[in-house]
Amino acid sequence: MMRLARLFPLGVALFCGSWALGEDTATLAAPYDPTQHWEVDYESGIIWRFTGSATPLSYTVLPQLLTIKSPLVGTIRPFFGGDLVIRNRFSLLGEPIIVGPEHHFMGGSASGIIEWWDKRRTRSLFFSSGGGIGWLDSKGHEIKGAQGEDFNLNWFAYAGARIFLRSRLSASAGVYFQHISNRYMNPVNPGLNAVGPMLSVGWHF
């Protein structure tokens, strides 16, 4: 699993290089407007516990998300040489916990997503924030600092950049924050705040 963590700097470097070269390669996607269509993404990342969590335990989580995004909601608004759009985002979460007393977190989340696209629709910046529910194999009754309830709520914030690689195929890199807690449905509720890089591949249809 640690090898996966080492791949992220390389992936981010390749993404940045693609962004810099996008003037030539992304023209293939210019006739196609992704804001008017559905999109399916596979998103993969690695996040670590950071300050703000009540638990003193170390956690490393590998978020694996299958996400679907709707066509734009409302109207397109010109902004800073491009356009701002708002879309809907729905995700299924499968998250192995490779460091920590629990072993996995499974669930779903939903949110809006605001995107800035260039006029040719070849590159975008995005921000999304929302939440949902999920389940993990809680160990709070066995280990101090572990989560106390199987059923939990989750909240996330996610920002990054996306570029078209070829017609209807895109890639993105970003930073993903996630909070998990049971909102004191159980007296044992240390919660978990975790953050780290996320890479994704998207299919637009």
C-alpha pair distances (Å), 12 with each of 66, 176, 199: 20, 14, 8
Residue 162 has pLDDT above 80, yes or no: yes
- C-alpha dist (Å) from residue 92 to 27, 139, 198: 32, 23, 15
Tokens at 142, concatenated: 């066995």
Q: What is the pLDDT of residues 33-56, one digit of tens each?
A: 999 999 999 999 999 998 777 889
What pLDDT digit, counting tens, does each position of 58-82 carry? Answer: 999 999 999 999 999 988 999 999 9
* pLDDT at residue number 52: 73
How far is the C-alpha of 200 from the C-alpha of 172, rounded, in Å?
5
- Give the pLDDT mean for 145-151: 95
Q: Which two tokens stand for residue 160?
A: 């990054």
Which tokens go with 164? 């078209």
Mean pLDDT, all residues of the chain:
88
In contact, 203 and 39? CB cutoff 8 Å? yes
Q: Which of 21, 60, 66, 71 is nearest to 44 (CA)?
A: 66
Which comes out higher in pLDDT, residue 2 or 140?
Answer: 140
Element (H, E) at 115: strand 104-118
pLDDT value at residue 74: 87
Q: How far apart are CA 2 and CA 5, in angstroms?
A: 5
Q: What is the CATH number of domain 2-21+34-204?
A: 2.40.160.20
